[in-house]
Amino acid sequence: EPEVTQTPSHQVTQMGQEVILRCVPISNHLYFYWYRQILGQKVEFLVSFYNNEISEKSEIFDDQFSVERPDGSNFTLKIRSTKLEDSAMYFCASSRVSQQYFGPGTRLTVT
Amino acid sequence: AQSVTQLDSQVPVFEEAPVELRCNYSSSVSVYLFWYVQYPNQGLQLLLKYLSGSTLVKGINGFEAEFNKSQTSFHLRKPSVHISDTAEYFCAVTESGGTSYGKLTFGQGTILTVHP
């Protein structure tokens, strides 16, 4: 069964550094998403992406964040200058229509 | 905008007992509803979904949920749980159309712990 994959599984970075989280969505999916889950809190929507542009973003998704689909398979989330409060599990998801399939997540630790 | 409330943060239960995990939502438009399960150190796996049609939906691993529009609820049930059902369960909602299509709003999660 096709699945969403994410790399790396765990990323440790220093405050102020740039990080890129990578995702490979399911190949025939059209919609792509990033969510995050701060430890002990609910899963929060960050951004959705369709037809090579952002279709919706939350207030969390400020100018420090960007997304890109650089080729036909990868979908990336970049955090330009990480803060301590960016420490969280980041989930990528993809869908054809209504059902979203989630990847296993990348745990980002900002020190 | 939508919101989801999962009324129980933790539910302990003995093996082979029935369980109900409660979920209420609010939305000004029609919605799709989902339950996801997260096992330790893993991603989110879809258990079941309600898009339209029958209000009783069946999912994987013997789980089912009933959509109640008047009570804006989508409670998850299983008649007999196993140790392997120990996990965190998330209720989620998305608008069935409009500008927020696809964006999932999650509840806080319910940790189900099944004891032998």
The nearest CA of chain B is from the CA of A46 a distance in Å of: 9
Residues A29-70 pLDDT 10s: 989 999 999 998 889 999 999 988 999 999 999 999 999 998
pLDDT of B9 above 60: yes
- What pLDDT was estimated at residue A99? 84
Give chain A's mean pLDDT: 93
pLDDT band at B1 (very low <50, low <70, confident <90, very high): confident
Identity at B31, one-letter amino acid code: V
Contact at CB, B104 and A101, closer than 8 angstroms = no
- What pLDDT was estimated at residue A73? 86
A17: helix, coil or strand? Answer: coil
Mean pLDDT of B78-97: 93
**Of residues B90, B100, B102, nearest to A95 (C-beta):** B102
Cα gap B5→B25, rounded to integer Å: 6
| Angstrom distances, CA of residue B54 to CA of B21, B58, B66, B95 | 20, 10, 9, 18
The nearest CA of chain B is from the CA of A4 a distance in Å of: 10
In chain A, beta strands by DSSP E: 5-7, 10-13, 19-24, 31-37, 43-50, 53-57, 65-68, 75-79, 88-95, 100-102, 106-110
Higher pLDDT pick, A10 / B29: A10
**Of residues B46, B100, B107, nearest to A42 (C-beta):** B107
- What pLDDT was estimated at residue B101? 55
Strand bridging mode A75-79 / B87-95: unpaired
According to DSSP, the residues that pair with A7 across neighbouring strands are A22
Cβ-based contacts of A41 with chain B (< 8 Å): 108
